[in-house]
Amino acid sequence: MIRIGVLGDIGSGKSYIAKSFGYPVFNADVEVGKLYKKDKKIFYKLKKVLPNYFDSFPVNKHDVTNAILANNHNLKKIIKIIHFEIRKKLLFFLKKNKHKKIVILDVPLLLENKINKKNDILVFIDTKKKDVFKRIVKRKNFNLKLFKKFKNIQLPLDYKKKKSGFIIKNDFRKITAKKCARDILNQIFK
């Protein structure tokens, strides 16, 4: 099985590009959302370590935001709980798709959390900062302070770009995403 890890800035279009490959995608952000909505164990773990912020199930994203903004250590506590579960979900995804030719890993902290393997093919989504920021501020519940906290825990984009075997210049057009994904797959299967 070939694993393709999609890297890039927050709001660079990683998830959209990941889907453009046409293979099974593990989207960590979607999985985190499911944990907050459906997993009572996660709620109890969060409530245990941050009782002042979590008092009802399902976990409310506003509660998560408030906890993160209140204290730098809270983000680390939340990450420790959530990432352990995300790793388990990723392993299940890989096992379920073990007979697929390719799987796509859309995991924002792929390199930071050392989830990538030596043989993974890394694809960096390159975008103009102003385009990314324009897109991000339009998101529902955008919070600049929260955005900056998440940026601070990420490796520099230049580092991710250097580690990548492929670079896609994302202009946020469907035709470009499909063409770039197809070009990369053609090079992989040469």
Residues 109, 151: Cα–Cα separation, whole Å: 11
Average pLDDT of the chain is 92
Please state the pTM of the whole predicted model: 0.91
pLDDT at 150 exceeding the cut of 90 = no
Task: Output the six-digit token pair for 37.
Answer: 């909505």
| Lowest pLDDT segment from 2-16, 17-31, 120-134 | 120-134
Q: Is 140 exposed, middle or buried (0-12, 13-18, 19+ CB in 10 A)?
A: exposed
pLDDT exceeds cutoff 90 at 67: yes
Residue-level pLDDT at 73 = 92
For the ranges 11-15, 62-66, 111-115, the lowest mean pLDDT is seen at 111-115
Residue 143 and residue 136: Cα distance in Å, rounded?
9
pLDDT tens for 86-115 read: 999 999 999 999 999 999 999 988 998 888
User: How far apart are the C-alpha atoms of 119 and 32, rounded to whole Å?
Assistant: 26
Q: Rounded CA gap, 89 and 75, in Å?
A: 21
CATH of region 1-24+101-190, choose from 3.90.79.10, 3.40.50.970, 3.40.50.2000, 3.40.50.300: 3.40.50.300
pLDDT for 72 beyond 90: no
Q: Please count the other Cβ atoms lying within 10 Å of the Cβ belonging to residue 83.
A: 18
Rounded distance between C-alpha atoms, residue 26 and residue 9, angstroms = 18
Among left, alpha and beta (phi > 0; psi -120 to 50; other), residue 11 is: left
